[in-house]
């Protein structure tokens, strides 16, 4: 019998008193410690977050830590404080709901930190002050993220009718801030874009030009050229981008159809891990600009696409800036607007996920069909415990399949406590999603405390990009909820810009 089966299987989540009424903990990941209380009337913790009262007075907004702030009537409230606090609050809330036998009490949930999005924008402005970001909304069309970015003045990269409506329905966003950056569009989508006032769109083939000539003759076109995408997680080159040698004929066709081509775009692929690739792409764009001149156009837009990875951002920005300066020197740059289409850069770090361990078992051993393939003796390099959590690859973890991500779980709560010692014995474990499909594996091998039980919670960071947006409800598992916070890093700034944006919407 395996070790798992002899472990006492308690279910701490069902017993709210397992979370002691009031306890302090030291976080071994973050740098803060606080006192949490589980009494229902005081569920939201009040660590040292109160701001100087003068600053509160200045904004004339009474902030209620328990209820958060309702900035937009249609959205859930915005809280403040470190995401960690809200992960723990959510777990305690789940614990109380479980004690009250509420359905779905232990549901997985996200915590989104809007300050993180704000800080990424600051990082962008600092590293690429000349490049106007157009957020690729497919990456995460979260209503708060879109409103914050709209309030900060970014543009938007949309790829469909639905995405265009999604952005325009927010209100307060002029269609000129949208680029329809899908080179292969249905004719009806081109027509809808025309109706919505979205003029900027990309193309990379001749059929597209005929469609646009018919459905939106006044469009401002951008030729998407093929870039070397061999250094990206998600390669786009097999699907999109005109090779440079066909660009002259495409431009001649556009001329013939009396279409206006205003510039060049490329995309190095999503999740670019070798920033040097941007240099080659800008060089190709320069060639395409010259081809434009040759065809009788005066190009005024350079779109450097997306692909910016959080971890390589400053390096990529440096390479890009140097390449722009080299191929589009200042003296020739007048009248040329440079834009980009970052997606994951803005959101990947802003979302964390808390998932509940709903089941646990030992891997198949005796009588397994694979038995004959096994090497004799104890297997030390294979997981000895399988944990089943309530998010999986059919849900938010679809990023594992589609976005080639590798996720790493950490312990949020162990045996009903947020505190666990780093000397806790570990076991090789695997983590699985809740559906009945065996493809639903979140993590093949992870070192997790041997004492983890059903009812404990695992956390996953960097869950903001290409997760929620592509999740399904396969097998009847619902989408996870999202709790919004603006942590200390930019709490005041986020609230200020969002309040102003909301107010402008009200008056317009």
Ligand X SMILES: *Cc1c(COP(=O)(O)O)cnc(C)c1O
Q: Judged by CB under 6 A, which stretch of 162-170, 341-349, 360-368, 437-445 contacts ligand X?
A: 341-349
Interacting residue with ligand X among 306, 395, 433, 434 (CB under 6 A): 306
Cα distance between residue 347 and residue 206, in whole Å: 35
Mask 119-158, x = binds ligand X (CB under 6 A)? Answer: -----------------x-xx-----------------x-
Question: In this complex, which beta carbon is closest to ligand X, that of residue 106 or of residue 204?
Answer: 204
What are the distances in angstroms from CA 179 to CA 13, 65, 153, 219, 384? 47, 39, 14, 11, 50
**Integer Cα distance of 469 and 473 in angstroms:** 12
Q: Which of 344, 349, 360, 495 binds ligand X (CB under 6 A)?
A: 344
The residue with its CB nearest to ligand X is 343
Tokens of residue 393, six digits: 């690859």
* DSSP-assigned letter for residue 300: -
Assess contact for 299 and 292: CB atoms under 8 A. Answer: yes
Are 208 and 185 contacting, i.e. CB atoms less than 8 angstroms apart? yes
Site string for ligand X, 367-406 (x = CB under 6 A): ----------------------------------------
Query: How many Å apart are CA 207 and CA 253, to the nearest integer?
Result: 10
Under rule CB under 6 A, residue 241 binds ligand X: no
Q: Which stretch binds ligand X (CB under 6 A): 148-156, 266-274, 355-363, 454-462?
A: 266-274
- Measured between alpha carbons, how far is 199 from 160 in angstroms, rounded to an integer? 14
Looking at residues 163 to 222 of the shown chain, list those that interact with ligand X (rule: CB under 6 A): 181
Measuring CA to CA, how many Å separate 476 from each of 117, 391, 433, 454, 473?
31, 12, 13, 21, 5
Q: How far is the CB of 254 from ligand X (least distance, A)?
A: 19
Per CB under 6 A, 263 contacts ligand X:
no
Query: Catalytic residue positions?
Result: 436
- H/E element holding 317? helix 313-327
Whole-number minimum distance, CB 320 to ligand X, in Å? Answer: 13
495 binds ligand X (CB under 6 A): no
How many residues bind to ligand X according to rule CB under 6 A?
17
Nearer to ligand X, 270 or 384 (CB): 270
Output 337 or 496, the one with its CB closest to ligand X. Answer: 337
Q: Which of 16, 95, 270, 429 binds ligand X (CB under 6 A)?
A: 270
Q: Which of 205, 340, 330 is nearest to 278 (CA)?
A: 340
178-180 vs 232-234, strand pairing mode: unpaired
DSSP state of 365: -
Please give the structure tokens belonging to residue 234. 């998600």
Contact 111, 351 (CB under 8 A): yes
Region of 243-251, 263-271, 274-282, 455-463 interacting with ligand X (CB under 6 A): 263-271
Nearer to ligand X (CB atom), residue 156 or residue 388:
156
Q: Give the binding site for ligand X (CB under 6 A).
A: 136, 138-139, 157, 181, 267, 270-271, 305-308, 341-345
């Amino acid at each position: 019998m395996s070790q798992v089966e002899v472990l006492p299987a308690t279910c701490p989540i069902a017993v709210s008193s397992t979370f002691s009424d009031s306890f302090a903990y030291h976080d071994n990941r973050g740098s803060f410690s606080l006192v949490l209380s589980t009494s229902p009337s005081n569920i939201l913790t009040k660590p040292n977050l109160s701001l100087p009262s003068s600053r509160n007075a200045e904004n004339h907004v009474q902030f209620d830590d328990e209820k958060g702030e309702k900035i937009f009537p249609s959205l859930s409230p915005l809280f403040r404080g470190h995401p960690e606090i809200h992960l723990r609050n959510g777990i305690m809330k789940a614990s109380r709901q479980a004690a009250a036998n509420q359905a779905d009490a232990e549901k997985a949930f996200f915590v989104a930190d809007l300050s993180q999005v704000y800080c990424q924008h600051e990082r962008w402005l600092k590293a690429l002050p000349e490049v106007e970001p157009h957020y690729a909304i497919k990456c995460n069309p979260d209503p708060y993220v879109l409103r914050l970015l709209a309030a900060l003045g970014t543009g938007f990269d949309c790829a469909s009718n639905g995405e265009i409506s999604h952005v325009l329905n927010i209100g307060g966003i002029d269609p000129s801030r949208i680029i329809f950056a899908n080179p292969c569009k249905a004719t009806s989508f081109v027509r809808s874009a025309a109706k919505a006032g979205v003029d900027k769109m990309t193309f990379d083939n001749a059929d597209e030009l005929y469609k646009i000539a018919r459905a939106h003759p006044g469009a401002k076109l951008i030729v998407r050229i093929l870039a070397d995408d061999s250094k990206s997680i998600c390669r786009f080159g097999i699907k999109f981008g005109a090779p440079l040698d066909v660009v002259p004929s495409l431009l001649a066709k556009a001329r013939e159809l009396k279409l206006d081509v205003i510039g060049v775009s490329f995309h190095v692929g999503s999740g670019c891990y070798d920033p040097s690739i941007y240099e080659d792409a800008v060089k190709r764009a320069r060639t395409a600009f010259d081809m434009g001149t040759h065809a009788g156009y005066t190009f005024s837009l350079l779109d450097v696409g997306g692909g910016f990875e959080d971890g390589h951002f400053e390096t990529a920005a440096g390479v890009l800036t140097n390449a722009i300066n080299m191929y589009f020197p200042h003296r020739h740059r007048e009248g040329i607007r440079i834009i980009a289409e970052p997606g994951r850069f803005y959101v990947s770090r802003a979302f964390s996920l808390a998932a509940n361990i709903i089941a646990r078992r030992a891997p198949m051993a005796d009588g397994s069909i694979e038995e004959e393939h096994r090497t004799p003796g104890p297997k030390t390099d294979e997981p000895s415990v399988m944990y089943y959590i309530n998010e999986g690859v059919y849900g938010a973890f679809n990023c594992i399949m589609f976005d080639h991500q590798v996720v790493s779980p950490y312990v949020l709560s162990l045996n009903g406590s947020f505190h666990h010692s780093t000397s806790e014995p570990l076991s090789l474990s695997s983590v699985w999603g809740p559906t009945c499909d065996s493809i639903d594996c979140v993590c093949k091998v992870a070192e997790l405390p041997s004492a983890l039980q059903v009812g404990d919670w695992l956390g996953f960071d960097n869950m903001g990009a290409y997760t929620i947006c592509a999740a399904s409800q396969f097998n009847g598992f619902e989408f996870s909820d999202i709790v919004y916070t603006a942590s200390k890093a930019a709490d005041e700034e986020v609230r200020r810009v969002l309040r102003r944006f909301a107010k402008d919407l009200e008056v317009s």
